[in-house]
Amino acid sequence: MTIKIAINGFGRIGRLAFRRIKELRDSELQVVAVNDLTNNEDLAYSLKYDTAYGIFPYDIEVRGDSILVDGKEVKTFEEKDAKKLPWSDLDIDIVLECTGFYTTNEKAQAHIDAGAKKVIISAPTKDEETKVVVFGVNQEILSPSDKIISAASCTTNGLALMTKILVDEFGIQRGLMSGSRAYTATQNMQDASGGRKSRAGAQNVIPVTTGAANALGKVVPEVKGIITGTTTRVPVITAGFVELFSVLDREVTVDQINEVMKAAANDSYGYTEDEIVSSDVVGDTHGSVFDATLTEVLDANGGQLVKTVAWYDNEYGFVSNMIRLVEHFSKLV
């Protein structure tokens, strides 16, 4: 049975979600509509050509109010108000909300009002009502009655997968996360006013605030309020890593940590013992990849401080794990 997908917002995440769904040959997911405030020629061009991931290997053609991708029609719209979108007429099963605007349950309800059956927001939500879900961590909290959920953020995905394993195996008393990830389109190419966040993104390592630690508590409730952190934007086009410095409930060794991480590896959570760098995970479809070579345990004053590290592609890795969530969500009826 075909699961009809509409993508609202055809920026980085929206386009890569389209790519990932198309790559999954055996998937029942099919993108049938895209809404973005741009013309079809630009939609087709930006889907075909991507600096980070290369040329999309399918024929793309503009035809009237649609684009054809590999011979299949995708209806296109330029509607600012989501309530006015024809989701009912198109029998849309799930909307991928990728604009960065409809980030509360109340706002995302516009897609339901327009006739969509379900909505997945590709960003952290700004309300307490919406369930925040990272596939591979807490998808079991979902029920058939859920209509609007959040797929969290790329950093939360990268952090939650590793944190959940530590919690389940060893328990966490306190933690500090430190992230390092690629710059984004919201940053400046040249210095501008507004403090360090407005400095040239392609030439600087820039400390920024992150909501990942707060969102983590919604995904892994056991660590709510006990993990905080910061992150930096660095001059690479995509990918990065997240470090977690934690005090566990019991003493451990490096080998014990790595053994449980290796045993937990799956489609969402990768594991490596190679000395990789950020470019090695560009295009990787895991939500994050645990790096066993960087695990450290520091004994001090009768206690321990444990460092664990996971790499992640903040675009394609996040999108791939979100699409796993889409497939899971679509089966809850």
Q: Count CA atoms closer than 13 A to 266's CA, side-chain side.
A: 11
Structure tokens at 252: 């451990």
> Is 269:161 a contact under the CB 8 Å cutoff?
yes
> Is 330:273 a contact under the CB 8 Å cutoff?
no
pLDDT at site 201: 95
pLDDT reading at 1 higher than 90: no
Catalytic site residue from 114, 154, 166, 261 = 154
d(CA 14, CA 122) in angstroms, rounded, equals 9
In tens, the pLDDT along 15-67 reads 999 999 999 988 999 999 999 999 999 999 999 999 999 999 999 999 999 99
In tens, the pLDDT along 145-173 reads 999 999 999 999 999 999 999 999 999 99
β-strand partners of 230: 178
pLDDT at site 294: 99
pLDDT reading at 214 higher than 80: yes
> Could you tell me the fold of the domain covering 154-314?
Dihydrodipicolinate Reductase; domain 2 (3.30.360)
Note the pTM of the prediction, 2 decimals: 0.96
Residues with Cβ within 8 Å of residue 144, at least 6 apart in sequence: 332, 333
Q: What is the residue extent of each domain of the chain?
A: 3-123, 154-314
> Which spans in 141-277 are helix H?
154-169, 212-219, 254-264
Annotated binding site for D-glyceraldehyde 3-phosphate: 153-155, 184, 210-211, 233
> Is 216:159 a contact under the CB 8 Å cutoff?
yes
**Helix (H, G, I), strand (E, B), or coil: what is residue 288?**
strand
Annotated binding site for NAD(+): 12-13, 36, 122, 314
Q: Mean pLDDT for the chain?
A: 97
Q: Which CATH class is domain 3-123?
A: alpha beta
Which helix (H) or strand (E) segment holds residue 321: the answer is helix 316-330
**Helix (H, G, I), strand (E, B), or coil: what is residue 157?**
helix
- Total number of residues shown for the chain: 333
98 is catalytic: no
**333 or 266, which is more confident?**
266
Query: CA-CA distances (angstroms) from residue 50 to 24, 200, 283, 299?
Result: 19, 22, 12, 46
pLDDT at site 213: 84
On the 0-12 / 13-18 / 19+ scale of CB atoms within 10 A, 256 is middle
pLDDT at site 300: 86
Beta strands in the chain, from DSSP E residues, in sequence order: 3-8, 29-35, 60-63, 66-69, 72-77, 94-97, 118-121, 131-132, 148-150, 172-182, 206-208, 227-234, 240-248, 269-272, 288-291, 296-300, 303-312
pLDDT at site 210: 86
% of the chain residues with pLDDT over 90: 94
Mean pLDDT over residues 314-332, rounded? Answer: 98
Question: Cβ–Cβ contacts within 10 Å for residue 96, how many?
Answer: 27
d(CA 206, CA 197) in angstroms, rounded, equals 7
In tens, the pLDDT along 68-127 reads 999 999 999 999 999 999 999 999 999 999 999 999 999 999 999 999 999 999 999 989
pLDDT at site 7: 99
Mean pLDDT over residues 174-200, rounded? Answer: 95
Give the amino acid at 8.
Answer: N
pLDDT reading at 260 higher than 80: yes
- Select from 293, 86, 89, 308 the least CA-distant residue to 177: 308
Annotated binding site: 12-13, 36, 122, 153-155, 184, 210-211, 233, 314
Structure tokens at 3: 């699961």
Extract long-range pairs of 152-155: CB within 8 Å, 24+ residues apart. Answer: 152/124, 152/215, 152/218, 152/219, 153/123, 153/124, 153/211, 153/212, 153/215, 153/318, 154/181, 154/312, 154/314, 154/315, 154/317, 154/318, 155/179, 155/181, 155/210, 155/212, 155/231, 155/242, 155/312, 155/314
pLDDT reading at 333 higher than 80: no
Structure tokens at 254: 């490096």
